[in-house]
């Protein structure tokens, strides 16, 4: 840094302290500080004289010519040299006090302490205000958090309730759907059995009916000796036995079963005889 700048800054610093101390000193130090003020003024005059000498030296100095190329590099190098010189100067320079007068130093220290105390009081007031505001914000946030937790618990309960209702509705709808399907299957089964019975009644009549129709044509009547069971009843009995007791699907061939019907079922593979008992038959497991 230029010595002229150093002198200017030191002069401004001394003048600022001199004016402030002269007006703000405590009453008990006003008289003793007058001598210190005179010393400061004398010091300022000496510094001002040095400033004048530096100005005269600067005026007689020839301006430095910048190179044609790399002007920016030259300026940076010059600035680096100036900073290095300033660094060396400050490193060798020891701090100086503004005055050797103890009364002036005491007044300056007291004033500095009062300023620091005022700034600390303002900072403390600001910190307390911020803490109060933060505490209020924290209480508001905690209240909001509690409300949100209550809402969350209520929503969880509502969600569980809706989930249970959905499961119940789903189970009821599935049960009702299965019930409707079973009802349709039963109705369709009845239709098939009815159509099957009509088909068998038409194409496989009982022998008495066939004979009776012939006797009616000839005018002869005779009571049947055995009440034969119709073919569709035999088939239904075989089907029910197979479905209800698959481990024992055999039925006993009764005397009311017309033998040609049994032979018909056995010959065409609709029914099978028991390996150890010829009087028992079962329906072929077509569904397996």
The Cα–Cα gap between 141 and 137 comes to 6
Residue 232 is assigned to a structural domain of this protein: yes
Residue 155 is assigned to a structural domain of this protein: no
Residue 239 is assigned to a structural domain of this protein: yes
**Model confidence over 146-166: pLDDT tens digits?**
999 999 999 999 898 888 877
Max CA-CA distance within the chain? 172
- Cα 181–chain centre separation: 44
| CA distance to 63, 73, 79, 81, per residue, from 70 (Å) | 18, 5, 14, 17
Structural domain total, the chain: 2
Residue 222 is assigned to a structural domain of this protein: yes
Nearest to 66 by CA among 58, 54, 74, 55: 74
As a whole-number percent, the residues of the chain with pLDDT over 90 amount to: 22
* Residue 28 confidence (pLDDT): 47
Residue 144 is assigned to a structural domain of this protein: no
Are residues 103 and 209 part of one domain? no
Are residues 122 and 214 part of one domain? no
Indicate the pLDDT class of residue 204, thresholds 50, 70 and 90.
Answer: confident
Lowest pLDDT segment from 1-15, 134-148, 185-199 = 1-15
**Model confidence over 97-113: pLDDT tens digits?**
666 677 767 877 788 89
Indicate the pLDDT class of residue 194, thresholds 50, 70 and 90.
Answer: confident
**The domain boundary residue, chosen from 115, 131, 147:** 131
**The domain boundary residue, chosen from 131, 150, 165:** 131
* Residue 22 confidence (pLDDT): 45
Residue 27 is assigned to a structural domain of this protein: yes
Are residues 116 and 210 part of one domain? no
Are residues 112 and 10 part of one domain? yes
Residue 44 is assigned to a structural domain of this protein: yes
Residue range of the domain that includes 254: 204-283
pTM assigned to the model: 0.36
Residue 95 is assigned to a structural domain of this protein: yes
């Amino acid at each position: 840094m230029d010595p002229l700048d150093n002198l200017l800054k030191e002069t401004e610093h001394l003048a600022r302290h001199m004016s402030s101390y002269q007006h703000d000193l405590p009453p008990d130090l006003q008289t003793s500080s007058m001598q210190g003020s005179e010393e400061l003024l004398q010091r300022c005059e000496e510094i001002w004289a040095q400033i004048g000498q530096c100005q005269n030296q600067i005026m007689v100095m020839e301006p430095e010519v910048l190179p044609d190329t790399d002007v920016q590099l030259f300026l940076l190098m010059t600035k680096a040299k100036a900073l290095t010189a300033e660094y060396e100067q400050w490193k060798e320079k020891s701090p100086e006090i503004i005055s050797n007068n103890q009364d002036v130093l005491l007044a300056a220290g007291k004033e500095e302490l009062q300023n620091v105390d005022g700034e600390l009081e303002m900072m403390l007031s600001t910190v307390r205000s911020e803490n109060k505001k933060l505490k209020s914000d924290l209480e508001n946030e905690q209240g909001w958090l509690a409300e949100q937790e209550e809402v969350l618990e209520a929503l969880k309960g509502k969600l569980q309730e809706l989930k249970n209702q959905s499961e119940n509705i789903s189970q009821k709808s599935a049960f009702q759907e299965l019930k409707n399907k079973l009802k349709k299957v039963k109705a369709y089964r009845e239709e098939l059995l009815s159509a099957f019975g009509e088909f068998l009644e038409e194409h496989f009549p009982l022998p008495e009916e066939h004979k009776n129709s012939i006797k009616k044509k000839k005018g002869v009547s005779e009571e049947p000796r055995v009440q034969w069971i119709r073919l569709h009843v035999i088939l239904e009995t075989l089907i029910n036995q197979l479905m209800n007791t698959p481990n024992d699907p055999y039925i006993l061939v009764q005397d009311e079963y017309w033998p040609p019907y049994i032979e018909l079922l056995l010959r065409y593979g609709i029914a099978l005889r028991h390996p150890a008992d010829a009087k028992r038959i079962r329906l072929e497991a077509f569904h397996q």
